[in-house]
Amino acid sequence: MMSEDARFGLDRSVRLLGPLPLDSGASLAPVEFAYETYGELNADRSNAVLVCHALTGDQYLASTHPLTGKPGWWERMVGPGKPIDTDRHFIICANVLGSCLGSSGPATVNPATEKPWAMDFPVITIADMVRAQAMLLDHLGIERLHAVIGGSMGGMQAVSWAALYPERVASAVIIASAARHSAQNIAFHEVGRQAIMADPRWRGGAYYADDDPPSSGLAVARMAAHITYLSEAGLTEKFGRRLQDRDAKTFGFDADFQVESYLRHQGISFVDRFDANSYLYITRAMDYFDLAEAHGGVLANAFRGSKTRFCLISFDTDWLYPTSESRAIVHALNAAGAEVSFMELSSPFGHDSFLLENPEMNRIVDGFLKAGEGR
């Protein structure tokens, strides 16, 4: 029976002993997880859906964010009667390894020093994030996922889940994502990292004790990244060359243009909810991501013999992870003989489209997940 509030386990957390072996050769112990769950696990434990969040996302998938007070980042997709259905599914969303909302990352305490890890935190990869999530699922007693779903970096985790643990994933939904980071992707991330490290308050990452983080650098990193999440047409439509609260140019360096004011706001509000060192670690993990690399450079080899059903969605105005990147995954899945569906959706909002209202996306995810439940 449904309780009045479909969710339970507000701000759940667990510390697992580990160790978690990492791609770098290091290992992490213990491993802390902050996560949210929605809905109820059924008797045969077959309705678990893992949602993987993006670079600056978090576990507050469909519940109010404790720092910003804003609604969950994917409430359009997750809820009663929605495609990821709190009435049908047991939904798990964990703060990703390396992040800053409660899971192990540079801001959590290094047991060896009893101080925050800062830059002593080991460099992690997307596969490490996935192995950490697998540890959490082991702890929750979930052997096999009905589905793993993610957009952007979440999609990288979802596709890695299918490659690393094919027998644990019945279905994978990979939205606005890629199987590797391109030179352009790496380049934009490097701009962000350099902005953080150029902030004198960064101090090699050891800023936690003084509670004086490199907010200016992190804000600039966010501003640069935010441009990549939008489309040129979307920016033009939203702001054009319109001026911000003024009738004429000031011949100075205030935020004359609306688009400047908007980006500054995006930067400033971001630093209240995100840790600069986490930004360094997670962007690094994304840059290191190349799923084919571990399979002799042949992406199809990552999926040989896979029984997982795949659904990929891209957006026509997404130039950060363009349709060609999704198609590369689709072609590899075809070559491997895997079951795959793919669709490029039309939306003016660039990469951010996957977070926004899109009835077609909801319809596809809904149909895809329901079809998997009949099996």
Active site residues: 152, 318, 351
User: Applying CB under 8 A, does 172 fall inside the site for other proteins?
Assistant: no
Output the smallest distance, CB 82 to other proteins, in A: 15
Q: How far apart are CA 155 and CA 145, in angstroms?
A: 15
By CB under 8 A, the residues from 296 to 315 that bind other proteins are: 309, 311
User: Applying CB under 8 A, does 367 fall inside the site for other proteins?
Assistant: yes
User: Applying CB under 8 A, does 113 fall inside the site for other proteins?
Assistant: no
Nearest to 38 by CA among 68, 56, 60: 60
Residues 6+ apart with CB under 8 A from 274: 56, 100, 218, 222
Please select the residue that binds other proteins; options are 119, 249, 337, 356, rule is CB under 8 A.
337
User: Applying CB under 8 A, does 260 fall inside the site for other proteins?
Assistant: no
For residues 197 and 335, which CB has a smaller minimum distance to other proteins in the complex? 335
User: Applying CB under 8 A, does 327 fall inside the site for other proteins?
Assistant: yes
User: Two tokens at 368?
Assistant: 């895809």
Q: How far apart are CA 89 and CA 49, in angstroms?
A: 6
User: Applying CB under 8 A, does 370 fall inside the site for other proteins?
Assistant: yes
For tokens 């060896």, what's the residue?
Answer: 112
Q: How far apart are CA 267 and CA 215, in angstroms?
A: 9
User: Applying CB under 8 A, does 77 fall inside the site for other proteins?
Assistant: no
For residues 263 and 338, which CB has a smaller minimum distance to other proteins in the complex? 338
How many binding residues for other proteins (CB under 8 A)?
Answer: 26
CA angle 236, 239, 240 (to 5 degrees): 50
**H or E stretch at 38:** strand 31-38
Query: In the chain, what is the greatest distance between 2 CA atoms, to the nearest angstrom?
Result: 67
Which range in 88-96, 132-140, 289-297, 331-339 contacts other proteins by CB under 8 A? 331-339
**H or E stretch at 344:** strand 339-345
The residues of the shown chain that bind other proteins, judged by CB under 8 A, are: 309, 311, 327, 330-331, 334-335, 337, 339-346, 360, 363-364, 366-368, 370-372, 374
